[in-house]
Amino acid sequence: MPRYIFITGGVVSSLGKGLASAALGAVLQARGYKVRLRKLDPYLNVDPGTMSPYQHGEVYVTDDGAETDLDLGHYERFTGVSATQGDNITTGRIYKNIIEKERRGDYLGATVQVIPHVTHEIKSFVLSDAGDVDFVLCEVGGTVGDIEGLPFFEALRQLSQELPPRQTCFMHVTLLPFIAAAGEMKTKPTQHSVKELRSIGIQPDILLCRADRPISDSDRAKIGRFCNVRESAVIQGLDAKSIYDVPLAYHAEGLDSAVLAHFGIEDAPDANLARWEGISKALAEPDGEVNIGVVGKYTILPDAYKSLTEALVHGGIANEVKINITWLESDMFEGDDALTHLEGLNGILVPGGFGYRGSEGKIRAAQFAREHNVPYFGICLGMQMAVIEAARNMAGIETAKSSEFEEIDGENVVGLMTEWTRGNERLKREGKSDLGGTMRLGAYPATLTEGSLVAQIYGTRNIEERHRHRYEVNVDYKDRLEAAGLKFSGLSPDGVLPEIVEIPDHPWYVGVQYHPELKSRPFKPHPLFAGFIKAAKTQSRLV
């Protein structure tokens, strides 16, 4: 049976519970253990798929088509373990499951209550399909004291009593603020957070205290004493230059040792952190830098493009360069002189998005990159805008547009996808169906054109990538666009759905319908991001 580590948070949000969970998983892996990471989200949405990027950041998509919390991206990037539908659950999905059971009569007339029915559903999720792993790490979203999180905390409290002794561990992440006027670090917020946790029956075993400066021995002893935690289990979590330094830092602070000591594991192998040391060195000692402009719709909140940002960093690691990202709101490019903001960039990336707002700006950015020979990478909507730009300015289809943009009239070069194949199953969608979970989601195969740039980059003609979209380039325009110079270098195996376009006589101009950033890892950069940054590096040395 695996051992369970429950990660909770207190004082304030955004302390880095997800990153701490991922880093701990990575260090346990470095000691030779198998890990699996899960996220419990207390919000009432069934999943984050219908939530605004401004509200929740990016939606992370798994191979099997789950729309999940962005922390699962951290989990995958740090451990290389692919997440599944069974690794993220919300209050919304739990209540949906319970109501469906109640309507079927599964509860045999019982009064359905938070205890035992909701807590039982949560416990079943935590324990389900663990496989042969050594540790399951479960992060609880939000902070202790949130009313939405109470059923989750109660379920984990019950589990700690129901599982055998030394089978569970509670790690609580808190904040130690430094008050400049007083000239000292304050432990009281952490004390109150632990008091709140203990009031609902949970005694933390390990405290990970986030701070912007070292914690003194006296403060560490004070925290241990007032929070009923061993002093050796009070771990400081200092700010790091890069998130990829965190596994090294937490190992140096003894986080994994404290976890193993709690479980009574005395013969644990030493941690082999060589690959993390290599990544840390590559980031600290780059051989040059490149400037990448990201033209998006939600750039005021970088978390909306979290996986994209990290994939660019991974591309930099592959090419030994530092990545400087300039965030550019696509709305700004609809003015006459706005394109001057693109001058001096070594590469332009247009990511995914939904809706008409800012689309014309993305089209102009794609046009600038094409006409000025700047490496261009279009992802999802960024590919569609590149196709519309090519249709208008290369193929002479002046009114080319997407059917997603009902605000304007024109010829729908991009249209709503109503049918597609997943394995042996034919999936259908109606234009007025629910939005949640009705896109083309998860991993789908594609076949690449022999001799194309992307086939060279991948080193194969058969790939599988993760998708999240409702609209697709209309393959009926393929011949006209190819005659104009835009090549369709990747299609679905049945030849119906365009997956990749490129311009052969351009330094690097690629658009993909899928989201390659979701499969990029620091120790295994995605080949398209590595190729894009390589082209941008070449561009930077030509300037």
Residues known to be catalytic? 380, 515, 517
CA-wise closest residue to 378 among 388, 366, 389:
366
366's enclosing H/E stretch is: helix 359-371
Question: Kindly report the CA angle at 11 between 243 and 194, in degrees rounded to 5?
Answer: 110
> How does 458-483 read in b/e, with b if 16+ C-beta sit within 10 Å?
beeeebebbbbbbbbbbeebbebbee
- Interatomic CA distance for residues 477 and 485, integer angstroms: 13
> Which tokens is 293 given?
């402009």
DSSP per-residue codes, 298-343: STTSGGGGHHHHHHHHHHHHHHT-EEEEEEEEGGGGGSTTGGGGGT
Decide the pairing of beta strands 376-379 and 347-350. parallel
Q: Count the Cβ atoms, other than its own, within 10 Å of residue 398.
A: 10
What is the token pair recorded at 155?
């379920």
Contact between 283 and 337 under an 8 Å Cβ cutoff? The reply is no
Nearest to 223, CA basis, from 189, 255, 252: 189
The three-point CA angle 183-184-185 to 5° equals: 145
Burial class (CB in 10 A: 0-12, 13-18, 19+), 16: buried
- Contact indicator for 177, 189 with CB cutoff of 8 Å: yes
Are 524 and 307 in contact by the 8 Å Cβ rule? The answer is: no
